[in-house]
Amino acid sequence: MPIIMKTDMGIIGGGPGGYVCAIRAAQLGLKVTVIEEKTLGGTCLNVGCIPTKALFSATKLLSQTAEAKQIGLTYAPPAIDLGKLAAWKGQVVATLVGGIETLLEKNGVDVIHARGTLASEGHIALSDGSSLEAEHIVLATGSDPVQIPPFPFDHPSIWSSDDALELPEVPERLAIIGGGVIGLELATIYNRLGSHVIVVELLPEILSTVDLDRRTISTLKRALTKNGIDVLTNTAAESFEQNETGVLLRTQDGEEHVVDRILVAVGRRPRTRDLGLESCGVELDERGFVRVDDKLQTTAPNIYAIGDAVPGPMLAHKASMDGVRVAETLAGQPHVLNYDLIPQAIFTDPEIASVGLSESRAKASGSEILVGRFPFAALGKALGMREADGFFQVVANADDHRILGVQIIGAEASDLISEAAIAVQSGLTLEAIAETIHPHPTLPEGLKEAAENALGRAIHTVNR
Ligand code: NAI
């Protein structure tokens, strides 16, 4: 006789969408059960944001020590203990996963480690043979790396991003297929570890899925080249052949590149197959994403979907906000989220972060705009950090000076963007930033000066 458990909300998937939804729903008084087949924390904690950022910071140290001789500090060339580095990264992940377990427990959320599939309306079948009866079901199943047939992930020379983050080795020559966010973040890490990296991008431009201005992209491309990363655009990776000299990567233009490993980072696709969705009337779109309405409700009653499983940016913080929205909506506190205002941070060298409209999108919308910029090279703090590359850019409405978007390329851009996110989300004006006293010497002064520059009154740059 199968065991049947009952809950108010059954969440399939314990990543940043699912676990955040669970905690918020529990805070609002619902009895919640999370079903997770692997490890809590999902892609972000286990094979995404967190391990990438741990390796980003560790390898930044490597590049800093290599450059330190320019300022009179000399070290012996650092030796890399890959096993120790991977173990440390694993500890960072384990600490955070443990934190989530504790948070769920303290909030009274039940966690079932099993695979869950929809059995019928209001029922989730579990791989341990039991079943869960839930008044509301939330699908938070996330996404997987896309595999392209000529480059199967089960071949030892072909890596997915999951494989690359395991740090199995530092290949002398690494080809990365896909000049998107994941491709360029891993290019940065492996370049700093010592690989000669070549990025092969199908489209005419890198990072083309992100709303970034040409000036930002060209600043990044210059830095990639300076760091020794080769970027080939308008180039489709076609096939490969393993021989005794290495791996021969062939591109559609007939070129051949000899490398040691190939990393495929050509996008992610929603994990929505084999979940029993069809049997419950949950429809998918043509790309496999769950169709949802503006409350994230699927085409089936009482079933919601969030995060990478639904159309929209595949970002952990967006998934978490989706989770909060569903929890609050079900508790009678509808929550509105403007998806145009989700900030994004890209961990390349230099970092890129953005929120709201780019200059080109703002222009295309037909609005009269003001644009202000300020270079990192004019910030005392940045020069003292030897981080002179990059700039701040603020775009605002010309009539009421409301800030529409901010792009930052430069050191710590990922941390600097949050002040801009508040400004854009709250409809603040250029004056609000320009007239707020920012401590000196700090990097956020760059945002203040960019706002002043848009108003024609920056102090530390020439206002044109
Ligand atoms: P992506 O869509 O950003 O980039 C994939 C790139 O691969 C595209 O530029 C595409 O044109 C190219 N491509 C496809 N087939 C190709 C071929 N045969 N040869 C050469 N190039 C080819 O996807 P990515 O980088 O895998 O990231 C997946 C998702 O995860 C994205 O939505 C991304 O925003 C998100 N993500 C965001 C992060 C962040 O914000 N820091 C970090 C990691 C992932």
Q: What φ, ψ does residue 44 adopt, rounded to 5°?
A: -55, -55
∠ Cα 314 20 93 (to 5°) = 75
The active-site residue, picked from 113, 401, 440, 460, is 440
Cα torsion 212, 218, 223, 228: sign: positive
Task: State residue 339's pLDDT score.
Answer: 85
User: Distance between alpha carbon 139 and the CA centroid of its chain, in Å?
Assistant: 20
Task: State residue 346's pLDDT score.
Answer: 98
The response to whether residue 186 sits with its C-beta less than 6 Å from ligand 1 reads: no
Ligand 1, closest atom to CA 238?
18
Gap from CA of 152 to ligand 1 centroid (Å): 17
Task: State residue 1's pLDDT score.
Answer: 53
Task: State residue 336's pLDDT score.
Answer: 79
Amino acid, single-letter form, for residue 129 = G
| Cα end-to-end distance, the chain, whole Å | 77
pLDDT, one tens digit for every residue, the chain (464 residues): 578 899 999 999 999 999 999 999 999 999 999 999 999 999 999 999 999 999 999 999 999 998 999 999 999 989 999 999 999 999 999 999 999 999 999 999 999 999 999 998 899 999 999 999 999 999 999 999 999 999 999 999 999 999 999 999 999 999 999 999 999 999 999 999 999 999 999 999 999 999 999 999 999 999 999 999 999 999 999 999 998 889 999 999 999 999 999 999 999 999 999 999 999 999 999 999 999 999 999 999 999 999 999 999 999 999 999 999 999 999 998 877 888 899 999 999 999 999 999 999 999 999 899 999 999 999 999 999 999 999 999 999 999 999 999 999 999 999 999 999 999 999 999 999 999 999 999 999 999 999 999 999 999 999 97
Gap from CA of 235 to ligand 1 centroid (Å): 15
The response to whether residue 177 sits with its C-beta less than 6 Å from ligand 1 reads: yes
> Tell me, which fold does domain 3-145+269-339 have in CATH?
FAD/NAD(P)-binding domain (3.50.50)
Is 196 annotated as catalytic?
no
The CATH number, out of the four listed (3.40.50.450, 3.30.390.30, 1.10.3710.10, 1.10.3720.10), of the domain defined by the range 350-454? 3.30.390.30
| Tens of pLDDT, residues 296-340 | 999 999 999 999 999 999 999 999 999 999 999 999 988 778 888
Task: Please indicate, yes or no, whether the overall pTM of this predicted structure exceeds 0.85.
Answer: yes
Dmax (CA) for the chain in angstroms is 78
Q: Tell me the C-alpha distance between 217 and 154, whole Å.
A: 33
The response to whether residue 318 sits with its C-beta less than 6 Å from ligand 1 reads: no
The candidate with the shortest Cα–Cα distance to 21, out of 343, 338, 332, 328, is 328
Q: Are 97 and 89 in contact (CB under 8 A)?
A: no
The response to whether residue 20 sits with its C-beta less than 6 Å from ligand 1 reads: no
Q: Tell me the C-alpha distance between 98 and 358, whole Å.
A: 38
Pull the structure tokens for residue 374: 């300020």
Point out which residues pair with 249 in neighbouring strands. Answer: 240, 257
CATH 3.30.390.30 in the chain, residues? 350-454
Pull the structure tokens for residue 409: 């390329």
CB neighbour class for 338 (10 Å; exposed up to 12, middle 13-18, buried from 19): exposed
Q: Name the helix (H) or strand (E) containing 433.
A: helix 430-434
Q: Tell me the C-alpha distance between 289 and 305, whole Å.
A: 10
- The CATH superfamily label for domain 158-266 reads FAD/NAD(P)-binding domain (3.50.50.60)
CB atoms within 10 A of CB 302: 16
Gap from CA of 143 to ligand 1 centroid (Å): 13
CATH 3.50.50.60 in the chain, residues? 3-145+269-339, 158-266
| Tens of pLDDT, residues 167-224 | 999 999 999 999 999 999 999 999 999 999 999 999 999 999 999 999 999 999 999 9
Point out which residues pair with 262 in neighbouring strands. Answer: 158, 175
Gap from CA of 131 to ligand 1 centroid (Å): 37
Task: State residue 338's pLDDT score.
Answer: 86
The candidate with the shortest Cα–Cα distance to 144, out of 42, 1, 248, is 42
User: Distance between alpha carbon 451 and the CA centroid of its chain, in Å?
Assistant: 27
The candidate with the shortest Cα–Cα distance to 218, out of 199, 234, 231, is 231
The response to whether residue 90 sits with its C-beta less than 6 Å from ligand 1 reads: no
Whose Cα sits closest to atom 15 in ligand 1?
Answer: 266
User: Distance between alpha carbon 203 and the CA centroid of its chain, in Å?
Assistant: 20
Ligand 1, closest atom to CA 184?
25
Task: State residue 77's pLDDT score.
Answer: 87
Pull the structure tokens for residue 86: 């991977």
Average pLDDT, the chain: 96
